[in-house]
A and B are shown apart, each in its own frame.
Chain A
Amino acid sequence: MSAKKWLWLAVFLIAVFGVVPVFIEITGRSDLYYTLTSVALLSIASAGVWLTFYIGRINIGQGAFALVGGYVSAILVTQVTVNFWLTIPIAGLVCAALSVLIGLPILRLRGVYFAMVTLVLTEVAKLSALALPYTNGAKGITSIPLPGPLVLFDLVLLPGLESIANPKLMFYIIFSVLMVLAYWVLWRIVNSRLGHLCRSLQQNEELASSIGVNVAYIRVVAFSISSFLGGVAGAGFVGISQSIYPSSFQVADSINFMLNCFLGGLGYVFGPMLGTLVLYFGWDLLFVTGRYQLLIYSAILILLMLLVPNGMLSLFDRKKASS
């Protein structure tokens, strides 16, 4: 990594873990913690969607995996009394396993056909949540207790959130760390041979298989990593909102995950993170426009896609801009 990139990384980390908390403490706007934690979680889910774009598939099904992850976490916490923090990786793994089963048949589809099937997945997940015995139907699972202390051999790794003064800050820090981890993993994938193989799939699957690349395997690996991230994000939301409903993640959320990637830039690892931040805050800022909120929001989205088709990050990419 070049010195400039290290500098950017340092600025980013200081902003997330230093400037933001200090700003919130000074201004007393502690509601921002919840908003920013949401952004962190949504951008984790978007990172997954971005990876499926990277193998040349349009994934509008991330909401399904977020919902499944959320329910896995909620059920484990309320009915099996597993520590919340442990349910996060479990939710991710359940979603990854599920996505292997679903992905094996549907990843053969390309283009709009794959997009359509994944779109349906979100609806299927919602209907399943309404119908299955452990999910409590339309009433959802509510009053989920705050995470208890995470203890390993008498060593308290994380204190219980009920016993500390500022649980919102704690959520913010932990999920921001998770977000940084998720993007580190994504960055490593893209800059390793796995990323090159994903790109070879995106650009020409027939040629990739003719040179001995097991395209079905790579597709499933990428899709399961994507769904793992979706499940993690869904579980995270159960932590901060202490509830989950069949409508917690809907088709609109699945589409938003995809938009985050588009808007940030499909060619840039950090595109989905920026896209999530801008879209989430953009929507909130337009709240003052009342009933015109959706109209203005949509118009801006259309304009952005026309003016910067390669995403907002392409504005900063001098190498691409000059060629």
Chain B
Amino acid sequence: MNPILEVKNVSRRFGGLIAVDDVSFNVSAGEILSVIGPNGAGKSTLFKLISSFLKCSSGEVQLFGQRISNLSPHEVARKGVVRTFQETTIFKSMTVLENVIVAHQIRAKANLLDFFLRTPRAKSDEGRFKESALSIIDLMGLTEFKDEIATSLPQGYLRALGMSIGLATSPKLLLLDEPFAGMNHEETMRMVSTVGRLRDELRLTILLVEHDMPAVMKISDRIVVLNFGQKIAEGSPEAIQENPRVIEAYLGSEDTALGI
């Protein structure tokens, strides 16, 4: 398997606190890799480091062998690494369709002046964006809401919209921040199958950070476990479930948290 993304000895310090400590792993093309760990293990920080919303204190992140950790967030997005947000982060007063159309910016061939003057190049962009937005909305099961203002969507669909926005950029690597948080079992299972389809149908590579263990065990090809900022294990879901260091890290929490 050839790696798309390489995380190399990445650390991040906040004053005296080391949130992420010398973490290294690779993400291979076409796989779903999950990063798990107890609360405060540094998952979210790692996530922000990969998407360049935070700068690494040391180490670096490489995409196809090129360093991306020195770029700004929008440049990283342009390279094909796109994140979704933990909260339901959307463009609140746009319709669902407008949300997804505006998110196509990376794919624009026309520049701002073209759009202002409505040149043929701008019109062809607009046409492509709308078509692609409609198909993404369809894939994510939002078609019936496409003309609704985003804030009026039912809670469960907001995250689907957030993911649609990410998909609109046609990412090479999609970073999902707790895609199952706050969902009931049924919603979680629906989202698990959606994420699986993104990998199988769109051939996307997905890195996700998640708390919901049964969902992670079900969906992941590989898992990386963090504890106190350090990587303590990496492997298949089966191997992780039996790893003594992982069990120790989760000691005190319910066994069911690990799905065993």
Asked if A110 is an interface residue, CB under 8 A from chain B, the answer is no
Q: Which residue of A lies closest to B74 (CB)?
A: A209
Minimum C-beta distance from A159 to chain B (A):
32
Residues from chain B with a CB closer than 8 A to the CB of A207 are: 85, 89-91, 165
**Contact of A214 with B74 at beta-carbon distance under 8 Å, contacts A193-B122, A194-B115 already known:** yes
A214 to B112, CA, bound (A): 12
Known contacts A192-B118, A193-B108, A221-B112: A211-B90 contact under CB 8 Å: no
Residue B101 lies at the interface, judged by CB distance under 8 Å to chain A: yes
Once the chains bind, are B73 and A210 in contact (CB under 8 Å)? yes
Query: Given the complex of chains A and B, what is the CA–CA distance between A209 and B74 in angstroms?
Result: 5
Judge whether A199 and B91 touch: CB under 8 Å.
yes
Out of B85, B90, B105, B169, name the residue touching A197 (CB < 8 Å).
Answer: B105
Closest CB in chain A relative to B43 CB, distance in Å: 18
Q: Considering the chains assembled together, what is the distance between the CA atoms of A188 and B117 in angstroms?
A: 8
Contacts known (A192-B118, A194-B115); A212 close to B169, Cβ less than 8 A: yes
Which chain B residues lie closer than 8 Å to A215 at the CB level? 74
* Contacts A193-B112, A199-B94; A211 near B89 (Cβ below 8 A): no
In whole Å, how far is B249's beta carbon from the nearest beta carbon of chain A? 30
Q: Which B residues are CB-close (under 8 A) to A38?
A: none
Tell which of B89, B101, B115 touches A204, judged by Cβ atoms closer than 8 Å: B89
Give A264 Cβ to nearest chain B Cβ, in Å: 19
Q: How far is B215's CA from A147's CA once the two chains are assembled, in angstroms? A: 75
Tell whether, in the assembled complex, residue A211 and residue B166 are in contact, meaning their CB atoms are under 8 Å apart. yes
Provide the bound-state CA to CA distance between A221 and B118, in Å: 18
Residue B153 CB within 8 A of the other chain: no
A212 CA to B171 CA in the complex, in Å?
Answer: 11
Specify which chain B residues have a CB less than 8 angstroms from the CB of A194 in the assembled complex.
112, 115-116
A196 touches B98 (CB 8 A): yes
Q: Mark A261-299, 1 if CB is under 8 A from B, else 0.
A: 000000000000000000000000000000000000000
- B: residues with CB less than 8 A from A are 51, 53, 72-74, 77-78, 82-83, 85, 89-94, 98, 101-103, 105-106, 108, 110, 112, 115-116, 118, 122, 125-126, 165-166, 168-169
Interface residues of A (CB under 8 A from B): 188-189, 192-194, 196-197, 199-200, 203-204, 206-207, 209-215, 221
16 CB-based A-B contacts, threshold 8 Å: A192-B122, A193-B102, A193-B105, A193-B110, A194-B116, A196-B98, A203-B92, A207-B89, A207-B90, A210-B73, A210-B74, A210-B77, A212-B74, A212-B82, A213-B105, A215-B74
Known: A193-B108, A196-B94, A204-B89. 19 other contacts (CB 8 A): A192-B115, A192-B118, A192-B122, A193-B112, A199-B93, A203-B92, A204-B91, A206-B89, A207-B91, A209-B73, A210-B51, A210-B74, A211-B82, A211-B102, A211-B165, A211-B166, A212-B105, A213-B74, A221-B112
The 9 closest A-B pairs by CB, nearest first: A212-B77, A212-B106, A193-B115, A192-B115, A209-B74, A203-B91, A209-B73, A211-B103, A212-B78
